[in-house]
Amino acid sequence: MPSIDIALQGALLLTLGVVCQWLAWRMRLPAILPLLLVGLLLGPVSGVFDPDLLLGDLLFPFISIGVAIILFEGSLTLKFSEARNVQRIIRNLTSLGVLVTWGVMGAAAHYIAGLSWSLSLLFGALVSVTGPTVILPMIRSVKPSARIANILRWEGILVDPIGAVLAVLVFEYLITGQQSESLLEFIKVVVIGVAWGWGGGLLLGILLKRQFFPHYLQNFAALAFVLLVFTASNEMGHESGLIAVTVMGVVLANMKNLDVTELLSFKENLTIVLISVFFILLAARLNLDLVLQILSPALLILAVALFICRPLSVLISSIGTSVSLREIALLSWIAPRGIVAAAVSSLFALKLQEKGIAQAEEIVPLTFVLIIGTVVVQSLSAGWLAEKLGLSSRSEQGVLITNANRVSLAIGEALHKNGIKVKLADTRRAGLRDARMKGLEVFYGNPLSEFAERFMDLTGYTHMLATSRNHETNAIMCKRFEHYFGPRQVFSISAGLADDDKESLAGPLKTNMLFGPDASWSKLASLLAQGAVIKSTPLTDEYNFDAHMDRWGKDTIPLFTIDDKNRLLVFSTGRDLKATPGWKLISLVKNGNGNEQQSDSV
C-alpha cells in the first residue's frame, strides 16, 4: 500500500482487522491466526504493505504502548483468591509447568537454533504461556469434557500474567546484563517498576472506590493512569514500565471492594482493536528471507514444544493429583501460544536490536512459527483426540438460561431433575441464590459481556433459553449465542406482544419462540402462581402424547421432550415436534394435584 494515502492505509488496516476477527469468530479459531496470515500476505509475501512507511518513527512507541495495555489487561484477571481456590493441577501447571516450559524451550532454542543462552531463556519465557485469547476459541471448537475445559481455561487465565512477568524479568536482566554492575541495575529496574505499579494501582483503586471520577470518565481515567505509570516508570528506570503496568493490574484486581469488571470489559474492547492492528503490522514486518533461513530449526523447535515440552510439563504437574492418564494425554496436546508471546516478542526484539544484540531478530520468526504451528496443528487434531480418549462433551446435554426469574427457576429445576445440566446467568444475585439452593449452576454477570465470554464455562451446553420479560433483550441474547449453539438451538420466550408489535420486531429480532408464541412469560408465570406444576411423564403406547394432553386439558403446555437416545428436544415455533412412546414428556399442567403414575412434579 505504499502509494495509497496514509489515512486510507490506516482505515484499510482497521477494516482488515475486523474481517479477520469476524472470520475467527465464524470459524471458531483464535483471532491471532487469520491476523498473522493476513499480515504475512500483505507484507513479506506480496510486499504491498510496509508498516515502517505507514507509522515511521511512531511504530516503536505504538508497539510499546500497545504491549503495556495488553499486559495491564491480562494482569487484571490475576486474582489471588481465585488462584488459591483452583485445583492442584492448575496451580502446578501455572508454576512448575511454566518453569519446565521455560527450561525446555530455552534449551531447544539454544541447541537447535543456536541462540545465545540469554536470548534462549528469553525465548523460553515468551513461549511459556497459552492465554485465554487462544485457548477459549479452541475449547469451544474441540468441546472437551468439562473437567479438561476447566483446567485449560484457568491455566490460560492465570498463566497469562505469570508468563508475562517472567518474560519481562528475563528481558530486564538481559538488557541490564549488557552494562556494568548488571545485577544492581536489574534490581533497581525491578524495584522502580514495582514501586510505580503498586503506587499507581493503589491510587487509582482508591479514586475508583470513592467514585472520584464520574462514571463516564472512569475508563478514560484508568487508561490515562496506565499510560502515565508506564511512561513515568520508564523515565526513572529504563524499560521498567512493563513491570509497572503488570503490577498495577494485579494490585487493582486484588483490591478489596473494588469491582474491576467494567474496567476489564473496556480494556478488553480496546485490546481487540490493538491486537487487530498490532498483529497485521507485526506479521507484515517479518523478513521472509530470515523466516525461510530459520524455518528448519523453527519447525524442530515446534516439534519439541508439541511432543516433548508440553507432555513433560503436564506429566510433572499431574504428580500427586487425581488427573487420569487419558486426561494427561489430552492436556498434553492442547497448549496453543498466542497474544503475549507474539506482542511481547516483537517489542523485545525491536529493543534488543536497538541495543545491537546479535540474533535478536530471530526471536520474532521463531515465535510466530511456534504460534501458527501450535494453533493449526492442535485445532485440527485435538477434537479427534478428545473423541478417541472418551473426553469429548459433544454428546452431553446442557441448557443455558439467560435469566434467573421465577419462570426460569421452574424450568431449570425441571430440567435438572431430569438429568439435564442447567446454568442460569444473570446480574441479580437474589435469583442466582435461589437457583444455587435448587442445585443449579449459576454465573453472575451479563451473558453478553466480554467478561462472560472469558469466564462463563459452556462446555457440554447445547441449548440456550432467553427467558427475560423483554423481547428485545431475548432477541439480542439469541443473536449473541446462535453461533455457539446453532440457530436452531437458541430460543426466546414470548413476551406476549400485540400483533402490531410482533410485526415491528420481525426481521433481525425474529427468534425461535420457546414453547410456541402463545406460551408467553406472563402466561407461564400466572399458571405457576395458580399452582400449576411442571411434570415429567414417560410416554407409552397406552398413555401417549395425545392422551396426556387430553387428560390435563387445554391449559397444558408441552415444554420439552427427551427422546429414546436421551436427546433433549424443545417445543417451539418452526418445529413440528410430537413426543412418541418411549420418550419422556416435560410439560406444564394446571391441575398439579392429579393422580398420575410414573410422573414427577416440580
Residues contacting residue 302 through CB under 8 Å, at least 6 positions apart: 369, 370, 373, 374
Region 265-289: mean pLDDT is 81
Per-residue pLDDT tens over the stretch 23-53:
887 777 778 888 888 998 988 888 888 888 7
Q: Is the pLDDT of residue 413 over 80?
A: yes
CA pseudo-torsion sign 542, 545, 550, 555: positive
Instruction: Give the CA dihedral 599, 520, 446, 432, nearest 10 degrees.
Output: -40
Name every residue whose Cβ is closer than 8 Å to that of residue 277 and which is 6 or more positions away in sequence: 13, 14, 17
Distance, in Å, from the CA atom of 378 to the CA atom of 325, rounded to the nearest integer, reads 19
Percent of the chain predicted with pLDDT > 90: 26
**Highest mean predicted confidence (pLDDT) among 100-104, 132-136, 179-183:** 100-104
pLDDT at 103 (0 to 100): 95
Report H helices in 259-338.
261-284, 288-293, 295-304, 310-317, 325-332
Which domains, and CATH codes, for the chain?
6-388 (1.20.1530.20), 398-601 (3.40.50.720)
pLDDT at 56 over 90: no
pLDDT digits (tens, 9 = 90+) for 77-124: 777 766 565 678 988 998 899 999 999 999 999 999 999 999 999 999
More confidently predicted of 389 and 71: 389
* pLDDT above 80 (res 285): yes
Locate 352 and state its grid cell. 534488543
Nearest one of 330, 343, 344, 338 to 375, comparing CA atoms: 338
Q: Indicate the average pLDDT of the chain.
A: 84
Angle 152-254-427 (CA atoms, 0-180°, nearest 5)?
Answer: 70
Is residue 141 scored above 50 in pLDDT? Answer: yes
Strand ordering across the sheet containing 584-589: 568-570, 557-562, 584-589, 533-538, 600-601
Q: Identify whether the C-beta of residue 458 lies closer than 8 Å to the C-beta of residue 400.
A: yes
Amino acid at 32: I
The tens digit of pLDDT for each residue in 323-340 reads 999 999 999 999 988 777
Paired residues of 490 in beta bridges: 464
Above 60 in pLDDT, residue 178? no
pLDDT digits (tens, 9 = 90+) for 553-583: 777 889 899 988 888 899 888 777 878 888 9
The string of pLDDT tens digits covering residues 429-448 is 888 988 988 888 999 988 88
